[in-house]
């Protein structure tokens, strides 16, 4: 009798159910209690939305609370089998069902769409080997480079606990400390900081992933979803008018476009770095605050996602959608990047807190091609007994699902001692050169708008020391960048 395969909750096959992954043989496993405590507490800092504070309440997302989404398909257009043995990427012309959720990051569920904020861009591929979740943003970089700083970052950008509003001094104070935030600040305050719609923005995997081919060769990969509708952004005045007239503008646009048959699409490209090149690259390729120059690793086309069906229920499908950067499929896995390493457990924990232990059972989260086979049982809102008479342990002698014994990706090399460490510096590592590059590539009109946006935000703060620390970062990104920003801030402060 053919043995059934043991799977994760997302339907991906389990290679080894006897040994936990560790940093080398006998190496450490989940020992950073401070990191785990910060992330777990962060996930529980909201009360249920629209229900009493009971276990049956629908807990709100701490970030990415406001969003919209749609279903569609992803079609492979180019051969990438030399880089990955992922089944859904194996054949040109192959189609895989997808669900794509867009979101704002900092604002609450009742906020407006047309605001200056990064956009979440989360894609779920319902593959034959389980769900693959590609969780990204509308920008290729982020504000911080270590997951232990993520709760601090979000706290600084959310509504102040005393005043109940976003405070310029708090936002600016955090930005003034981690110098690596300067790169993302430039992208957030530029012309793309307020997208015209969900359809008119790019998406990026942001974090670096690992692909493994059939021969076991490993490659590090960055994802780029380029919109086929053309990039479009809103000026501050346009955005304020639109947010007041239609707070749901982006959701309205997406819904109406699909109703008209104008199905939005993107072209997926990847940058591919042979794994052996990572250690000696001139900067840390796993640093989430940096991009890989295209001249080093050109974009290679992979395929095309198209959205053609709106959800039947926003609550059941958009709000209950639960993505995780840890939902990989064979041929695709994590890189050693610290942000990616810290996020899978945090995302999954957030979903168990927000939706319950059975968060993978709703249709939007369940794998399509196979039933998840594991030994999870019971729990709040259990809807699938997963075999009333099956044993819920492994191994067993009753024909239960078994591990595959086939590693899904190539192993990551580890060296050194346990402890907290700053990332090893590469020859060209710094936090400011790339932060200044977008400015140097802009037209004069684009620079003028960027400077006005930065100065408008900084000048609203009341603390001179916070403003001066931020100005120092822009000067470090380039004197041609820092001088006009400082002049604009001083002019506004004198008015």
Q: Which two tokens stand for residue 180?
A: 């690596």
Q: Which two tokens stand for residue 133?
A: 């979740």
- Rounded Cα–Cα distance for residues 196 and 241 (Å): 12
173 phi, psi to nearest 5 deg:
-65, -45
Q: Residue 191, Cβ neighbours under 10 Å: how many? A: 19
- Rounded Cα–Cα distance for residues 300 and 168 (Å): 40
Q: Could you tell me if residue 477 is left (phi over 0), alpha (psi between -120 and 50 degrees) or otherwise beta?
A: alpha
- By the 10 Å C-beta count (0-12 exposed, 13-18 middle, 19+ buried), 41 is classed as exposed
Listed in sequence order, the residues at least 6 apart from 79 whose beta carbon sits closer than 8 Å to its beta carbon are: 92
Q: Residue 18, Cβ neighbours under 10 Å: how many? A: 7
CB 26 within 8 A of CB 414: no
351 is catalytic: no
H/E run at residue 182: helix 181-189
Which residue in the list 131, 137, 358, 453 is annotated as catalytic? 137
389 is catalytic: no
- By the 10 Å C-beta count (0-12 exposed, 13-18 middle, 19+ buried), 361 is classed as buried
Active site (catalytic) residues: 64, 137
């Amino acid at each position: 009798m053919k043995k059934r395969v043991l799977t994760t909750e997302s339907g991906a096959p389990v290679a080894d159910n006897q040994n936990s992954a560790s940093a080398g043989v006998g190496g450490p496993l989940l020992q950073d209690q401070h990191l785990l405590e910060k992330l777990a507490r962060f996930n529980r800092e909201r009360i249920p939305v629209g229900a009493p504070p009971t276990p049956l309440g629908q807990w709100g997302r701490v970030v990415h609370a406001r969003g919209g989404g749609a279903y569609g398909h992803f079609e492979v257009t180019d051969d990438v089998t030399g880089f990955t043995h992922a089944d859904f990427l194996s054949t040109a012309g192959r189609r895989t069902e997808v669900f794509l959720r867009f979101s704002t990051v900092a604002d609450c569920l009742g906020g407006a769409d047309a605001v200056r904020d990064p956009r979440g861009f989360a894609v779920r591929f319902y593959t034959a080997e389980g769900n693959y979740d590609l969780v990204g943003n509308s920008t290729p970089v982020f504000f911080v480079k270590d997951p232990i700083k993520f709760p601090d970052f979000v706290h600084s950008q959310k509504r102040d606990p005393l005043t109940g509003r976003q405070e310029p001094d708090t936002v600016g104070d955090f930005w003034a400390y981690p110098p690596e935030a300067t790169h993302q600040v430039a992208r957030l305050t530029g012309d793309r900081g307020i997208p015209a719609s969900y359809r008119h923005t790019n998406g990026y995997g942001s974090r670096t992933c690992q692909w493994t081919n059939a021969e076991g060769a490993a490659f590090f990969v960055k994802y780029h979803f380029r919109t086929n509708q053309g990039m479009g952004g809103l000026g501050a005045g346009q955005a304020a008018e639109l947010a007041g007239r239609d707070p749901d503008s982006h959701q309205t646009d997406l819904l109406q476009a699909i109703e008209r048959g104008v199905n939005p699409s993107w072209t997926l490209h990847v940058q591919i770095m042979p794994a052996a090149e990572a250690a000696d690259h001139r900067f840390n390729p796993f640093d989430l605050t940096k991009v890989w120059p295209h001249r080093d690793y050109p974009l290679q086309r992979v395929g095309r996602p198209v959205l053609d069906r709106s959800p039947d229920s926003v609550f059941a499908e958009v709000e209950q959608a639960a993505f995780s950067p840890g939902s990989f499929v064979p041929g695709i896995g994590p890189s050693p990047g610290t942000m990616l390493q810290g996020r899978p457990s945090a995302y999954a924990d957030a979903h168990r807190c927000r939706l319950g232990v059975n968060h993978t059972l709703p249709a939007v989260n369940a794998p399509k091609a196979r039933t998840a086979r594991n030994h999870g049982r019971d729990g709040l809102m259990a809807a699938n007994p997963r075999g009333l008479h099956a044993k819920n342990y492994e191994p067993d002698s009753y024909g239960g699902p078994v591990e595959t014994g086939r590693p899904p990706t190539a192993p990551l090399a580890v060296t050194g001692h346990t402890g907290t460490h700053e990332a090893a510096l590469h020859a060209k590592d710094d936090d400011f050169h790339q932060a200044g590059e977008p400015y140097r590539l802009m037209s004069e009109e684009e620079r003028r708008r960027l400077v006005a946006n930065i100065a408008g935000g900084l000048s609203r703060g009341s603390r001179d020391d916070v403003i001066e620390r931020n100005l120092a970062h822009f000067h470090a990104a380039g004197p041609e960048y820092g001088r006009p920003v400082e002049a604009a801030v001083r002019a506004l402060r004198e008015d």
